[in-house]
């Protein structure tokens, strides 16, 4: 028991971090998939294992070349299909583990700083060091800016990359306390974790540079001789990373600018302004200021708008201060360099959207590691060691409580796509994606009149958005206005010829007009473009109308084997089973549909069909047919 004594405070601290993370995000486990979750997870056939597809058939480099993250989604699918709770549990677990590693990293860095000469305020002691590490972990786990990396399922790509990144840094720093084989093993583990970080998301490319900066700033003296000694290796490493990243992207990373509303130089001039917005949100992360989408005015040059050159000058000045502070205030210098370093992949020259909150997840590691020490040092200097420590603990508890409350409030916005996109539209009314997706979310929710008004406004503001025209066509089809729907689908295909849902919409119109074989061909063409559950379900309904119930049932079983949470497919299977005389299969399919959408009005009619089929003798009352879906 005596040996366990020193471990008890650390275990208690870890438990606090875990409990706080579960409290904040435990209520989000049933929230639905949204936005990019669909092409990367629910519509991504490359991550599906089962049936005729084995683990060797996975396409982990598609749709994005992030094989480690895609493998994690494949494991989720193998475990529970598309049950969203499993995906969200993993995201919460990754976030909590990353927060624990942030606390460990803070403890390691503070311990190293105590050994360095002439460090301002570094006489900590083990107890104080543990408290500061605890508050670093609590800050990270509760910070509202982290919600997008946790609640947005697809952003596991970000959180997983940061988990491996911080774990690799902890392993590398921890190796300095060992010799021989143990040191080599920890350094090797650090390299493996760095590669896993890169395989999760491209932000892992800066991991070797972070190691070099650690060696320069905390293992060396911070002098020009250290810089000259490491400069050749830094240049070689930077060149290697550039070539690796270029190959990793699969094509020229700059080719995406052809489809963006801004140029390379506009993005380069703009990003330092965005970095200051990230700083602003990091220190004042009220839930009302956070959004899935942010409006960003692009800089057309270094002086337009005037905040462009001010932002560049401000970062240059901070970098200069970091160099001046490199010996006596190493933690402050490290924070400045860390923040700038972690902006250089997604916040530099790549053709990406200018601003997303999940891009602060890795920079926040440095901020959460340094801020508790900075507050403790300032309060101790003003109030004395004893009362400064008490004030630091009280302030830390208040800040963590406030952050946790805001993070919980922000996470709740993700409970419903309409709420999420309404929030985004209110905060970024000029952003195309916010307006278009808000309108589509209303259509998906069945709020047809609101959807029509929102879609027409989106079409007027963004006439080149093919999703809007396709959605207006789908709305007209749902209202039976097929004559108006066809030109809308064709307009969408004129803007995007590979839009599978528009081809399927034309197929629905052809079926309504009695052109069954044309409808069948259009749906098969849509499926050849994109394997979509909605299109495949529509294909099954076309087959049933053509009297090919057995083929329809096969298509529906295929849909439901991939994702059994499709009530429309279950309802269609009821009809297909009745057409084939399989009463037992029809009843089981109806029970599954009713479990997914209790009280749906269509279920009353389907029950009546089953009863009518039993009375007419077309199906057996107990439905003991062979070959039915269980």
Query: DSSP string of 343-379?
Result: TTTTTSSSSS-S--GGGGTTHHHHHHHHHHHHHHHHH
Residue 301 β-bridge partners: 304
pLDDT of residue 124: 67
What is the tens place of the pLDDT at every residue in 150-192?
A: 999 999 999 999 999 999 999 999 988 887 888 889 989 998 9
Q: Which of 8-17, 270-279, 506-515 has the lowest mean pLDDT?
A: 8-17
Max CA distance (Å), the chain? 94
Same-domain check for residues 307 and 396 = yes
| Cα three-residue angle 515-470-545, rounded to 5 degrees | 25
Same-domain check for residues 153 and 164 = yes
Instruction: Confirm whether 224 is domain-assigned.
Output: yes
What is the tens place of the pLDDT at every residue in 320-355?
A: 988 888 777 888 888 999 999 999 888 888 888 999
pLDDT of residue 386: 80
More confident residue, 67 or 328: 67
Q: Is the pLDDT of residue 12 over 70?
A: yes
Picking from 394, 413, 432, the residue at the C-terminal end of a domain is 413
DSSP state of 297: P
pLDDT of residue 629: 34
567, 579 Cβ separation under 8 angstroms: no
Write the CB contacts of 317 (distance below 8 Å, at least 6 apart in sequence).
none
DSSP state of 564: S
Work out the average pLDDT over 224-245: 61
pLDDT of residue 628: 34
Residue 585: pLDDT band (50, 70, 90) is confident
Instruction: Confirm whether 599 is domain-assigned.
Output: yes
What is the tens place of the pLDDT at every residue in 102-140?
A: 999 999 998 888 776 555 555 666 678 888 999 999 999
pLDDT above 70 coverage of the chain, percent: 89
Query: DSSP string of 236-293?
Result: HHHHHHHHHHHHHTSS-TTGGGGGSSS-HHHHHHHHHHHHHHHHHHHH---GGG--SS
Q: How far apart are CA 187 and CA 335, in angstroms?
A: 23
DSSP state of 626: T
- Alpha-carbon dihedral sign for residues 117, 123, 125, 128: negative
Q: How far apart are CA 135 and CA 129, in angstroms?
A: 10
Q: How far apart are CA 436 and CA 425, in angstroms?
A: 9
Instruction: Confirm whether 218 is domain-assigned.
Output: yes
Same-domain check for residues 112 and 195 = yes
The residue range of the domain holding 50 is: 30-82
What is the tens place of the pLDDT at every residue in 395-437?
A: 989 999 999 999 999 999 999 999 999 999 999 999 999 999 9
pLDDT of residue 361: 96
Instruction: Confirm whether 325 is domain-assigned.
Output: yes
Instruction: Confirm whether 9 is domain-assigned.
Output: no
Instruction: Classify 383 in phi/psi space as left (phi over 0), alpha (psi -120 to 50) or beta.
Output: alpha
Same-domain check for residues 62 and 152 = no
Work out the average pLDDT over 547-575: 88
Q: How far apart are CA 80 and CA 256, in angstroms?
A: 35
Write the CB contacts of 507 (distance below 8 Å, at least 6 apart in sequence).
518, 519, 520, 521, 522, 523, 526, 538, 539, 542
Q: Which of 403-407, 464-468, 534-538 has the lowest mean pLDDT?
A: 534-538
Max mean pLDDT among 203-212, 286-295, 580-589 falls in 286-295
Residues written for the chain:
630
Same-domain check for residues 144 and 64 = no
628, 582 Cβ separation under 8 angstroms: yes
25, 143 Cβ separation under 8 angstroms: no
Instruction: Confirm whether 454 is domain-assigned.
Output: no
Instruction: Confirm whether 484 is domain-assigned.
Output: no
Which candidate, 99, 15, 14, places its Cα nearest to that of 361? 99
More confident residue, 257 or 94: 94
Q: Is the pLDDT of residue 469 over 50?
A: yes
Which candidate, 359, 370, 372, places its Cα nearest to that of 206? 359
Q: How far apart are CA 153 and CA 90, in angstroms?
A: 9
More confident residue, 105 or 216: 105
Q: How many domains does the chain have?
A: 3
Same-domain check for residues 257 and 130 = yes
Q: Is the pLDDT of residue 56 over 50?
A: yes
Residue 48: pLDDT band (50, 70, 90) is confident
Same-domain check for residues 139 and 47 = no
Same-domain check for residues 105 and 238 = yes
Picking from 42, 65, 82, the residue at the C-terminal end of a domain is 82
Same-domain check for residues 282 and 247 = yes
Same-domain check for residues 76 and 202 = no
Write the CB contacts of 441 (distance below 8 Å, at least 6 apart in sequence).
417, 418, 420, 421
pLDDT above 90 coverage of the chain, percent: 53
Work out the average pLDDT over 182-206: 90
Instruction: Confirm whether 519 is domain-assigned.
Output: no
Work out the average pLDDT over 225-253: 61
Distances (CA, A) of 621 to 71, 159, 595, 602: 46, 53, 22, 21
Same-domain check for residues 203 and 246 = yes
Picking from 413, 431, 447, the residue at the C-terminal end of a domain is 413
Q: Is the pLDDT of residue 240 over 70?
A: no
Same-domain check for residues 77 and 106 = no
Q: What is the pTM of this model?
A: 0.88
């Amino acid at each position: 028991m005596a040996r366990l004594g020193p471990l008890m405070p650390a275990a208690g601290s870890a438990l606090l971090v875990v409990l706080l993370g579960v409290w904040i995000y435990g209520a989000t486990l049933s929230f639905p998939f949204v936005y990019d979750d669909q092409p990367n997870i629910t519509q991504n056939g490359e991550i599906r294992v089962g049936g005729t597809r084995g683990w060797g058939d996975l396409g982990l480099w598609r749709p994005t070349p992030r094989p480690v993250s895609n493998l994690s989604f494949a494991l989720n699918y193998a475990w529970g299909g598309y049950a969203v709770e499993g995906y969200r549990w993993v995201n919460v677990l990754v976030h909590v583990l990353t927060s624990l590693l942030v606390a460990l990293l803070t403890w390691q860095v503070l311990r190293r700083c105590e050994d360095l000469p002439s460090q301002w305020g570094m006489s900590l002691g083990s107890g104080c060091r543990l408290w500061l590490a605890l508050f670093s972990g609590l800050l990270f786990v509760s910070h509202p800016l982290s919600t997008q990396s946790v609640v947005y399922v697809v952003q596991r790509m970000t959180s997983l990359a940061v988990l491996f990144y911080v774990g690799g840094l902890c392993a590398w720093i921890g190796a300095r306390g060992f010799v021989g084989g143990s040191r080599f093993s920890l350094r090797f583990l650090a390299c493996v974790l760095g590669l896993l970080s890169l395989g999760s998301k491209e932000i892992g490319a800066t991991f070797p540079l972070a190691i070099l900066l650690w060696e320069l700033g905390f293992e060396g003296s911070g002098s020009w001789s250290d810089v000259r000694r490491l400069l050749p290796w830094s240049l070689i490493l930077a060149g290697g990373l550039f070539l690796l990243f270029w190959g990793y992207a699969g094509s020229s990373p700059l080719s995406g600018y052809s489809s963006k509303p801004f140029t390379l130089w506009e993005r380069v001039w703009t990003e330092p302004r965005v970095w200051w917005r990230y700083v602003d949100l990091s220190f004042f992360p009220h839930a009302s200021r956070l959004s899935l989408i942010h409006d960003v005015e692009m800089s057309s040059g270094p002086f337009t708008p005037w905040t462009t050159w001010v932002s560049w000058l401000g970062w240059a000045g901070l970098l200069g201060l970091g160099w001046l502070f490199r010996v006596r205030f190493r933690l402050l210098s490290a924070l400045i360099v860390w923040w700038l370093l972690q902006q250089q992949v997604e916040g530099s020259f790549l053709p990406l959207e200018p601003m997303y909150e999940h891009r602060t997840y890795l920079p926040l590691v440095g901020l959460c590691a340094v801020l508790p020490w900075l507050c403790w040092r300032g309060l101790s200097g003003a109030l004395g060691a004893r009362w400064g420590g008490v004030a630091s603990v009280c302030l830390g508890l208040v800040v963590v409580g406030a952050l946790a409350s805001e993070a919980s409030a922000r996470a709740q916005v993700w409970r419903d796509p309409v709420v999420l996109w309404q929030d985004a539209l209110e905060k970024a009314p000029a952003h195309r994606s916010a307006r278009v997706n808000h309108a589509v979310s209303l259509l998906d929710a069945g709020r047809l009149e609101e959807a029509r008004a929102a879609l027409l406004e989106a079409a007027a503001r963004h006439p080149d958005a093919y999703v809007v025209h396709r959605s207006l066509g789908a709305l007209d089809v749902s209202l039976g206005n097929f004559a108006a729907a066809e030109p809308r689908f064709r307009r969408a295909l004129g803007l995007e010829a590979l839009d599978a849902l528009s081809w399927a919409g034309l197929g629905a119109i052809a079926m309504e007009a009695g052109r069954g074989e044309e409808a069948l061909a259009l749906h098969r063409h849509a499926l050849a473009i994109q394997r979509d559950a909605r299109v495949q379900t529509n294909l099954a309904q076309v087959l049933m109308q053509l009297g090919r119930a057995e083929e329809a049932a096969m298509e529906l079983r295929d849909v439901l084997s991939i994702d059994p949470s499709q009530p429309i497919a279950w309802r269609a299977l009821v009809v297909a089973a009745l057409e084939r005389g399989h009463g037992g299969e029809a009843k089981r399919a109806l029970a599954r549909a009713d479990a997914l959408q209790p009280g749906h009005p269509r279920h009353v009619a389907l029950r009546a069909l089953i009863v009518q089929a039993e009375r007419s003798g077309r199906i057996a009352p107990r439905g003991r047919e062979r070959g039915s879906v269980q």
